[in-house]
Amino acid sequence: MSTSTRPKRMSPAAITALKGNRPIVSLTAYTAPMARLLDPHCDLLLVGDSLGMVLYGLESTVGVTMEIMIAHGQAVMRGASQACVVVDMPFGSYQESKEQAFRNAARLLKETGCDAVKLEGGAEMAETIAFLTSRGVPVCGHVGLMPQQVNATGYRSQGHTEKEAEKIHRDALAIDEAGAFAIVIEGTVEPLAREISSKLSAPTIGIGASPACDGQVLVSDDMLGLFNEFKPRFVKHFAELAPLISEAAQAYAAEVKARTFPGPEYTFQPRARKD
């Protein structure tokens, strides 16, 4: 495909410009094949550190490393050609100082070719976000329930008390003013997420928040029904792939045991000799 006909990748600025026009469609992607399937339908693909739990079986996202995020960021970039690709900065890669954050954000951009990074945190991260954005690093913010802080807060919805609601509101305003091009609002009571979305200049992307957010994101494996053991309240299964995969594996095992697979059509036969 020539460069003149290749679809133009959605930029962070283009994501921001969608606010007030139409909802932003976002899903997580961790591999090239999945990115290739999701890319035509999404404005933004998030290489989330949720891959630690989804792909690696970790109990939280805290154990995810820069090397893991870079490897999966590279994979998604090989599969995506249209969507804006955002890579999560893992726990410990940006909290120490704004200079540490810049070094690691620059590494993610350079080594993956992604369009932007995402980091968690509110008012305490505003200075860091301003530092990054002023130096050419597009940043997506993340407020409300913050999975990287699970050891301190646990997994529970946020904004139920006046104190929690005020903090989330302050956090969102602070990182909006710091220059985040978009802000994820996670696990936050609906009226609060709705109110915040109406007051920010940056678009909000909800997950367990509000339909009034400027966009929505889900973990793709949740959306596809690959996990049936635990289904968060905010997850809708748009497919039920887990039982299909199990049934396919059962059928495969039965044919292998019966020696009906592989049949002749799935094997290589000797070529006829030429005399």
Active-site amino acid positions: 186
Binding residues: 49-50, 88, 118, 120
CA-CA distances (angstroms) from residue 36 to 64, 83, 177?
Answer: 24, 10, 34
Q: What is the token pair recorded at 202? A: 């940056």
- Count of beta carbons in the 10 Å neighbourhood of residue 174: 21
Whether 205 contacts 182, CB under 8 Å: yes
3-state SS, residue 80: coil
Helices (H), 39-189: 51-54, 66-79, 98-112, 126-133, 150-153, 162-177
Up-side HSE of residue 138: CA atoms within 13 Å toward CB? 20
For residues 175, 191, 218, 41, the Cα torsion angle rounded to the nearest 10 degrees is: -90
- The H-or-E segment that residue 264 falls in is none
Residues in the chain: 275
Non-local CB neighbours of 22 within 8 Å, separated by 6+ positions: none
Binding residues for Mg(2+): 49, 88, 120
Binding residues for 3-methyl-2-oxobutanoate: 49-50, 88, 118
d(Cα 158, Cα 145) in Å, to the nearest integer? 6
Q: What is the token pair recorded at 181? A: 């091009």
3-state SS, residue 142: strand
Whether 48 contacts 34, CB under 8 Å: no
